[in-house]
Structure 1
Amino acid sequence: MTYVYILRSLQTPERFYVGVTGDLRSRLKRHNAGEVSHTSKFAPWEIKTYVAFSEEGQAHAFERYLKSGSGRAFAMKRL
């Protein structure tokens, strides 16, 4: 399984991060430990939403969509 996830900063709740991983628990631990440069200054994080995909290509395509303008609007309204 490959997961597309949306994190919300507990420190700054209006901050979100979208990513993709094969191990969701381990990835969240890395974000909260400050090991990911894009998220370290807004830690700690919580998982807001995640979607599991059986095909990695579909997961990466969905992640790219969520990072687009229309994808961000969709995620904030529906996820």
Structure 2
Amino acid sequence: MNTDINHILVNGARIAFNKMRRAQSFNARLYYYAEIGVYLEVSLSHGAGITQESNEQIDEIYKQATHFHMSENKRSRLVS
């Protein structure tokens, strides 16, 4: 059971990040960014069977998503 929740969280964050990278609008990117944030928050739950490894993987995905989101926002302001 512990493995299931860890796979769900990590894969969910990965899927959201991939969708975020393909998103065509600010609102869509923001939605997926927030979704990754939720996965990160859940991964911080103690006693829920979330492993440290899963938490670290999701944290890394969140950091990558933050960098991507900020870069895209900067790029879109320069283009406008």
Q: TM-score, normalised by structure 2?
A: 0.28
Q: TM-score, normalised by structure 1?
A: 0.29
Q: Which has the higher strand share?
A: 1
Structure with higher Rg: it is: 2
Q: Which has the higher helix share?
A: 2
